[in-house]
Amino acid sequence: MKRELEGEEILWAGRPSPLAAFWKSIPILLFGIPFFAFSLAWELLSLGIFFNTGVGKVEGPGGIMNYIFPIFGLPFVVVGFGLMGSPLWAARKATRTVHILTDRRLVTAVLGQKLSIKSIEPKQVFDMTRVEDANGFGTITFSLGTYRDSDGDKLERTEVWLGVADVRDLELKLRRVTSAAHPTGPDQPA
């Protein structure tokens, strides 16, 4: 990271809370439970047909369908398992992530098999929203402008730093940096 941030002054650095990342992924887990259960039931029934156990047996020759049905269900079982594990994957990713505010940019670094760096220049940040818990942890969402999707609908491009400590301090420092980048900077926090 020293090489990446050479010549820049670090104004704020922090890691997202793995617990916040875990809880944000709970809706995916809740969707994954019935998805996994249905796909597993499908797979077990199709394997019953495949092995001629009598479970799910249909009269007449099955032919190639006896082989296709079990294979067709496998990706759905794997996806369902992945959906149920999403809170764990999100928490694990949070432990390998660091957010950095420098005098020149906002940086999100994620260490996986390779180091992934995402940079945002302060002039790209047009608005921000802070949600803070009583303990000072919170989430800050940066509005990076709008774009149109393939249907022509207008969508907002955002970046979210979830579960960061002392989120108010981060917002104050970020507003100073962005106000220097914009002739009329974002409003000061209340």
CATH number of residue 147's parent domain: 2.30.29
Q: How would residue 52 be classed by pLDDT, with cut points 50, 70 and 90?
A: low
For residues 81 and 64, membership in a common domain is answered with yes
The per-residue pLDDT for range 54-77, each reduced to its tens digit, is: 555 555 555 666 677 778 889 999
The answer to whether residue 177 sits within a structural domain is: yes
Residue 189 confidence (pLDDT) above 50: no
Task: Find the domain containing 136 and state its range.
Answer: 10-17+99-181
Two tokens at 151?
């249907």
Mean pLDDT of 28-56: 81
For residues 86 and 103, membership in a common domain is answered with no
Instruction: Specify the pairing of strand 154-164 against strand 127-132.
Output: unpaired
pLDDT of residue 100: 92
% of the chain exceeding 70 in pLDDT: 85
For residues 69 and 127, membership in a common domain is answered with no
Distance of CA 110 to CAs 1, 3, 120, Å? 11, 15, 15
* 54: exposed, middle or buried (Cβ count in 10 Å: 0-12, 13-18, 19+): exposed
The per-residue pLDDT for range 137-160, each reduced to its tens digit, is: 999 999 888 888 899 899 888 899
The answer to whether residue 190 sits within a structural domain is: no
Report the number of distinct structural domains present in the chain: 2
For residues 84 and 115, membership in a common domain is answered with no
Two tokens at 91?
């928490």
